[in-house]
Amino acid sequence: MMTADQNTHLLDQASVLADRFMPRATGFDQARKLDQDASDAMADAGFYRLFVPEQLGGLEASPVVSAQIFERLAQGSAACGWVAFIAATSGSTLGSIPEETARAIFTHPNTMVAGVFAPSGKARVDAGQVTVNGRWQWGSGTQNADWVLGGCLVDTGDEKPSQHMVLMPASEIHFLDTWHVSGLQGTGSTDYEAVDLRLSDGHIVGYGGHRPPRRPLYQFPQFTLLAIGIGAVALGIARAAINELVQLAQSKRRINSTATLADRAHSHLEVARAEATLRSARAFYYQSIEAAWAVAERGDKVNVDQRRDIRLATTHAVEASIKTVDAMYTLGGGSAVYADSPLQRHFRDVHMTSQHIMVAPSTLETVGRLYLGVEAQTSTL
């Protein structure tokens, strides 16, 4: 279990790197992926091993502290916050494969795992080996990674194919130039594919009855951890947008006016509403995670009701963040539309977060059914 001093150090490192990467956010977008030195800096800080089992050299950090890290990173660069949470969540899979294989993968503390959970590939198991073929979308951070995950339907030849992820060496992956998008450009979330890639079946996550350690962090389903990261990034973007608008408002004036944007009554109303919207959503977000973490620390599984609350809080955090950024972007006027304005980048990035399936409107439908006592599909909560 991590100490308070360790948590404080991680959060301090997140602040340092957020400030360092803020001036480079546009460069990451132009490159359409993170520069390797930026990814290495986050690895050095320990952010990629937040959810890796302690027995392998990971941190097994609290989801509360991890969310604060992703949120702070996103204030400087949404792409950095996004890649950090993807890598952290992906690292949790090392607890669900044979320890010998996990140690062969996690050979140094800066090992980075990234990839896609969706079962877009096919894998065939035969005589202790697995052959993987597939193409996956939304491969955030995979071009910086050492190992790449790909969700697959795994066929053993004896029964109906089951869904698992497979850990594949990045050196054997083909990356495709598909990441031409409106927001989160710097995440490098390009398509990638594997063609007849052969590995030992120990690289199949959760195969053969392998399960993560019965420790607090792993009482959270991976889908829950994934959704938490998306909410954290959205909150960080929204905070950055308010900060940017407040700074812009000190000097921005309308033509033929001596009053600044900060002097206008309409600005006062919009900024006050934005603060209330963001802070209330953030409070609900962290309260729901903290409540579930308290349960996990007692050794109990995070149950459906707690997962329900977290998913509602994460989806609401994204929606509230979009509302906040939209208001700040509109208040910024013509200045906000230019490519060199952080407000237009925040606008593009925060709207991109809403496109992830983990915070889609269908999440609210599932959550609403649960609150109403109606049967609902909860496997992806």
Q: What are phi and psi of 261, to 5 degrees?
A: -60, -35
pLDDT tens, position by position, 60-112? 999 999 999 999 999 999 999 999 999 999 999 999 999 999 999 999 999 99
- On the 0-12 / 13-18 / 19+ scale of CB atoms within 10 A, 208 is exposed
The CATH architecture annotation of domain 220-371 reads: Up-down Bundle (1.20)
Cα–Cα distance between 365 and 361 in angstroms, integer?
7
Q: What are phi and psi of 97, to 5 degrees?
A: -130, 165
Q: Please say whether the structural domain 113-209 has been given the CATH code 2.40.110.10.
A: yes
Q: Which residues contact 321 (CB under 8 A, 6 or more apart)?
A: 234, 235, 237, 238, 278, 281, 350, 353
Q: Which two tokens stand for residue 66?
A: 């991890």
- On the 0-12 / 13-18 / 19+ scale of CB atoms within 10 A, 326 is middle
CA-based nearest residue to 141, from 15, 40, 252:
40
Mode of pairing for the β-strands spanning 174-175 and 190-200: antiparallel
Cα–Cα distance between 36 and 50 in angstroms, integer?
19
Q: Tell me, what's the pLDDT at 157?
A: 85
Cα–Cα distance between 169 and 113 in angstroms, integer?
9
Q: Which two tokens stand for residue 290?
A: 């903290």
Q: Which two tokens stand for residue 37?
A: 């030195």
Q: Tell me, what's the pLDDT at 381?
A: 87
| Helix, strand, or coil (residue 320) | helix
pLDDT tens, position by position, 268-296? 999 999 999 999 999 999 999 999 999 99
Mean pLDDT (the chain, rounded): 96
Residues written for the chain: 381
pLDDT tens, position by position, 223-247? 999 999 999 999 999 999 999 999 9
CA-based nearest residue to 141, from 100, 194, 184, 93:
184
What are the domain boundaries of the chain? 4-96, 113-209, 220-371
Please state the rounded mean pLDDT for residues 252-257: 80
Q: Which CATH superfamily is domain 4-96 in?
A: Acyl-CoA dehydrogenase/oxidase, N-terminal domain (1.10.540.10)
Amino acid at 197: L
Answer yes or no: is pLDDT of 119 > 90: yes
Which residues on adjacent β-strands are paired with residue 190? Answer: 139
Percent of the chain with pLDDT over 90: 94
Confidence of residue 315 (pLDDT cuts 50, 70, 90): very high
Q: Which two tokens stand for residue 308?
A: 């329900």
Q: Do 4-96 and 113-209 have matching folds? A: no
Q: Tell me, what's the pLDDT at 5?
A: 94
Find the DSSP H helices in the chain. 4-21, 25-31, 36-45, 63-76, 78-91, 99-105, 222-249, 265-297, 304-331, 342-353, 361-371
Q: Tell me, what's the pLDDT at 73?
A: 98
